[in-house]
Each structure stands twice: as C-alpha cells, then as structure tokens.
Chain A
C-alpha cells in the first residue's frame, strides 16, 4: 500500500533534501479562503499539507493555532468541510494529511472517518493525543482504508516507547522538537537533533522517515532541521501570517513568501 505521502517523501529524499510540511486548520479564516491559503502554501514549495480539524480544546496548541482553530469553528467548520479542504489539497498534487485531536474522529466513527478521508484523496492522519496503546480500532481502520497513521514522539519518550510508537506509525513519525506546545520560537530546541538520532536508532531497519515539528518558523531554522531530519513541519508561522493580514490577497502573498523561505531552507541544508 503506497500513498501520495510516500511518493512526496521519496521524491524529496531522492533530491537529497528534506520534505516541507505545512499546517493550516481547515476553515481558517473560512472554508473557501483556507483552500486558497493551502494552494499558496503548495505554490510556495510545501510537499505535504496537514489539514487541521479544528477542535474546541486543543491542549497541544499554543495561542496562535488556538486562535486560528477558534476562527475556523466560529466559521462553522465541521468534518465535512475538512474533507472538502483535503480534496482541494490533493488536487494540488501535494500529499494531504489530516491533523486531528481524537474526539472528533471518535465521534465521527473511526472506520467511517478513515474510509471518507481515503475517498477524499487524503494520505493519512496525525493524532497528537492518541497513544498507540489506545489505538487498536484506529490501526484496524487505517489498515482497511490504506491510510498512513502518524503518532508523535517527544524528547521525554523512553527508548522503549520510541520503538513502540514508531512500530505503530506508517508514513512517517512526528518528532516534537521540544517539550511544549505549538508556536514559533526564536531558536530550534537543542532537544530536536538528539531525539532524531534516538528515533533513527529505534527505527533502524524500517527506514521510517522522521519529520520534525514545533517551533520552526524561519528559513534558517528549516535548514538546520533539514540537516538531520527527513521532513520539516511548520504551522504557527502560516497561521500567524493569515491572522496578521488585513485581507486575503495580503495573506496569500505572505503565506506564499513564507513557504518559499522554508522551501529554500530545506534545500540549503548541508
């Protein structure tokens, strides 16, 4: 079973660079505009898009993404709109993932969600508050639908948990660069490279790609992380540019420019 995600990650690897993964909540600032923003992210150089399913209680997110998700919810975004944004993302050629807290998927119906996402052209799902121990149904559902499932590892993960979690992943593993929530940071945490090295050791043999997220918000930071990771994930930086823009054309230009900066970064790594 291969997904568009596998293809995009393999292409980046073949080109000798890390992949660029951008996050945006579906429906932010509204459904149609979020599709335009995603298109600008892809035009700017994103290989993969994480389409966020906005949730009322995002415990892993800092204020920027919380505000973006609140706007999306206020605009009436439901899973139906999320799947529409996934469809539009897939149409750009980029790999489309969904990033969702567990309850909305649980509520939608685990198997139904997996099937509907696959039908919309999605490659897989990132679940920040689902641990492999609680993911029995989810593993079955994503296997049945041919979807990738991406769990997280963190600097605090033990070696045993790195093995457990990466064994449960397909597509890539999301390495949280630091102990904290989403949001831009002045520097890449020094915990990131060490975690990637430890995760690499845990995945020896499988070759599971390792993508790093949390706090990456400049081209230089992207270049630094691209020096040791298979993919670089950025989210709050995109949301902030949309929040700051007075209108959609300004937002699109700023988002495209930010994606270009990050794309140049992942290509300049030593």
Chain B
C-alpha cells in the first residue's frame, strides 16, 4: 500500500499549479497554514507517522479497497470493460476517510485538541466525527441549514459519534457557507484547533496535502488494474465537486500520458440553464475560499449559487489542481445532468446490486458516454467514491418509490 506520491514539481513552494492555487487568506491564518504545511512535510518523511496511518487504513478503513468488474453495467457503457474502484466499501462509506485519518493524526501531532470541519452531503462530516471519536479529539462540524434538512440521517450519525453539528443559517445555507463559517471559527480558535478541510480546495497547503492523502486510491487501483488486465486502463473516470476523489485516482495516472483522465462535474438541470455546479465547464477563473481556480461567479465576481441533486457536488468552485489539469489538457472535464446521473444510479443498482452515491453516479454516467465513444475494446476505471445509503431517501423520491407510488416505481 502506497501513501507517498512521487514529486511532480507541482505545486510550487507557494502552492501554485500554473496560475492557479496559491494562498488568498487572511494574514491571521498564515502562521497556522505554515504550521500545517511544515508538519505535513515532516509527517510525510516520518516512518512512525506513515506506519500508524497505514495501519489505520488497513485495519480500520479496510484498505486496500477492492476492484470490481461491472460486467452487466458494461452493456450500458458501449460494451467497454468497466472496473469499479470500491471506495464505497471503506469504513464510513466513502473515500473521505483517507484524508480524514491523515489529518486527524496530524492534528494530534501538532498538539491540537479540537477539530472543525465543513460538510455538504455529510460524508466528510461523518468521517471527521468518526476519526475524532477514535483519536479522542473534540469535533465541531459546520453544515448549511439547507443540507442538514437534505441529509438528516448523517446529522444524526455525526451526533451519535459525539460531534457537535452547527447548522449555518447565513448566505445560501449550503456547503460554501459552511466553509466560510469554518474559516471564521478557525481564525478565532486557531491556537488549539485544526481545520480539517475535506477537499482539494482552499489555501495552500490543503490542495496538496489532501491530494497526498487520497493518492492511495489511484496507487492501489493502478496495481489492481495491471494485475487484472495486464495493462493500464484506457480511461479513468471520477466525479468532481471540490475534486478530492478525482485527484486521488488521477494522481497515480498523470505520468501515464496514454491514459485519458475524465472528471465529471454536476450539470444539474443542464449547464445552459444556469442551474448547475459545473465550475470548470460553466464557470470562469477567479479567487474563491483561499485559492485561484474556476468559480461560478457573476460579472462582478460575486459567487453564483450552485445547484445539484447531489449535495456533495453542490459547490461553486473546484480544487486548483483540476483547474490546471483542465487548462493544460491533461484531464478532460464534462458536465453530467441530474437526470443522467440518476439513470446511471438506477442502472448500477439493477445490473450490479450496488447502490452508488449520487455523487459517484455522475462518474458512472460519464463512463457510459466515454464507453460509447471508445467502444468495446476499451477499459475504463471508474472511481466509485461512495455508497448510496445516505441517498436512498432522495432516490426514492426521485423514482417515486415511496408510499402509493411504490408499485409504479417498481416498473422504472
């Protein structure tokens, strides 16, 4: 199992990926950001830290996560061979735990006792509450009031794990506002608090550190695909909100120039309607929550509210490394509508007996399109970043499977 990644020269010392990334933060947080960056560099080279993290990833998370060939789903993807990287089988149900365990250990290493986090769908909040319970850290999770309603089950889960969940009632009351509120808390409590950011966004060093902690996804998958098929995949597909699962699986394949990398953003009702969360496909470069990257913004630089059926992708920006991968052409980003994602969700349930997260269903829908383009000789590695238990309510409503409509929905 690999937790280290080779040096790529990116980001630079200031956290820049080409023109993107960097650090746009209040001066008050610079000392803390520098401390996190320095401690993370030390921890990466510390065999004892790495051994403890590896042990947790294997005995607690259940890594390595398996690779599952989706032979039936393949028929709905142009006949291409579809290989699923099963991050949904990790403890707490998604890839989020990889990053959380690393940063929670780092929190303890820095001598801090309190962790704050933001969450949208609740997956990162649940993972953070879990790691804090395990390591005896105080945990406060900020969650937009709108999302606490959409994801009530995960709110209860976090509280059961001992975390305090704070509904954010200002702004658009979704993920971006939870991030703002977490930054406000951090400035005031930075002496004993670590902000356990859940994606590859924010000011340096977060995008690089969170990528390092998810590198294990791609490193495992690359070996597993080689072992199973004897060659590299033709394409790798992942969903992109902030982009942590995508960077995690892309990173190991970036040097393999023959492997196509596809990031699938949340297209909502369609990018042309303006109701979407596709920052690269439908946004423009700007500065948001600590980094220069693609942002959904109006002509005056005000953030435009995002929309997606998936709370975990409902974010108006994207990690800066994705912005750079998009501009350099190394990765291709496309938008997937709510409707196409839900169709892929339904198909995976029915053909493979796997209920995917709605987030991950965007990658599945994207893989169907790529499979149709590349044809039956192609092998596509799909990051199944999370499981859909948390989405059963949303999906049941979407497909009309509740109450009297259940029988009708059964025909769907």
A interface with B by C-beta (< 8 Å): 55-60, 62-63, 66, 70, 73, 78-79, 102-108, 128-131, 133-134, 151-158, 161, 165, 176, 179-181
- For A57, give its contact among B26, B176, B188 (CB under 8 Å): B176
**Chain B 169-194: CB-based contact to A (< 8 A → 1; otherwise 0):** 01100001100100110011011000
CB pair B23–A133 under 8 Å, yes or no, is yes
List 17 other contacts, CB 8 Å, given A59-B26, A59-B180. Answer: A55-B301, A57-B177, A59-B184, A79-B300, A103-B301, A104-B302, A106-B287, A106-B301, A107-B297, A107-B301, A131-B25, A133-B22, A134-B24, A153-B27, A157-B31, A161-B30, A181-B187
- A154/B27 in contact, CB under 8 A: yes
Task: Note all chain B residues with C-beta closer than 8 A to A157.
Answer: 27-28, 30-31
Interface secondary structure of B, over-half rule: mixed
The CA of A92 and the CA of B31, in the complex, are separated in Å by 40
Residue B324 is within 8 A (CB to CB) of chain A in the complex? no
Let me know if B299 is at the binding interface, CB within 8 A: yes
B398: shortest Cβ distance to chain A, in Å?
30
Q: Which chain B residue has the least Cβ–Cβ distance from A176?
A: B28
B31 and A107 contact, CB distance less than 8 A: no
Contact status B171-A131, CB under 8 Å: no
Among residues 301 to 316 in chain B, which have CB atoms less than 8 Å away from a CB atom of chain A? Answer: 301-303
Q: How far is the CB of B301 from chain A (nearest CB, A)?
A: 3
Question: Using Cβ atoms and an 8 Å threshold, which residues of chain A touch B14?
Answer: 133
Residues of A within 8 A of B287 (CB): 102-103, 106, 129
The one of B31, B177, B286 in contact with A103, judged by C-beta atoms closer than 8 angstroms, is B286
Kindly state whether residue B288 has any CB partner on chain A within 8 Å.
Answer: yes
Report which of B23, B24, B25, B301 forms a contact with A104, defined as CB distance below 8 A.
B301
Q: Complex formed: what's the CA distance from A66 to B180 in Å? A: 11
Measured between beta carbons, the chain B residues less than 8 angstroms from A165 are 27
- Given A78-B300, A131-B30; A107-B170 close (CB under 8 Å): no
Q: Give Cα A180 to B171, complex, Å.
A: 19
Q: How many residues of B contact A (CB 8 A)?
A: 34
B295 at the interface (CB under 8 A from A): yes
Q: What is the CB-to-nearest-CB distance from A126 to chain B, in angstroms, rounded to a whole number?
A: 12
Closest residue on chain B to residue A58 by CB atoms: B180
B289 interface residue (CB < 8 Å to A): yes
| Pairs A–B under 8 Å by Cβ, sample size 5 | A59-B26, A59-B183, A129-B24, A179-B28, A180-B184
Min CB distance A96 to B, Å, is: 20
B195 shortest CB reach to chain A, Å: 12
For A60, the closest partner residue in chain B by CB is B26
Q: Determine the chain A residues whose CB is within 8 A of the CB of B177 once the complex forms.
A: 57
Q: Could you tell me if A158 and B26 are in contact, using CB atoms closer than 8 angstroms?
A: no
Residues of A within 8 A of B23 (CB): 131, 133-134
A156 and B301 contacting across the interface, CB-CB below 8 Å: no
CA–CA, A180 and B26, complex, Å: 10
Q: Which residues does chain A contribute within 8 Å of B191, judged by CB atoms?
A: 179
Q: List the B residue with the shortest CB-CB distance to A133.
A: B14
Q: Does B32 contact A (CB under 8 A)?
A: yes
**Bound complex: CA of A108 vs CA of B187, how far in Å?**
28
Q: List 6 A-B pairs, minimum CB-CB distance, nearest first.
A: A107-B301, A154-B28, A104-B301, A180-B188, A156-B31, A103-B301
Q: Which of A62, A79, A176, A180 has the most CB of B within 10 A?
A: A180
Bitwise, B16-57 to A at CB < 8 A (1) or not (0) is 000000111111111110000000000000000000000000
In the bound assembly, the distance between CA atoms of A104 and B288 in angstroms comes to 10
CA distance in complex: A57, B295 (Å): 12
The smallest beta-carbon distance between A203 and chain B, in angstroms, is 15
**Contact between A129 and B25, CB atoms less than 8 A apart:** yes
Instruction: Report the minimum CB–CB distance from B317 to chain A (whole Å).
Output: 10
Q: Min CB distance, B227 to chain A, in Å? A: 45
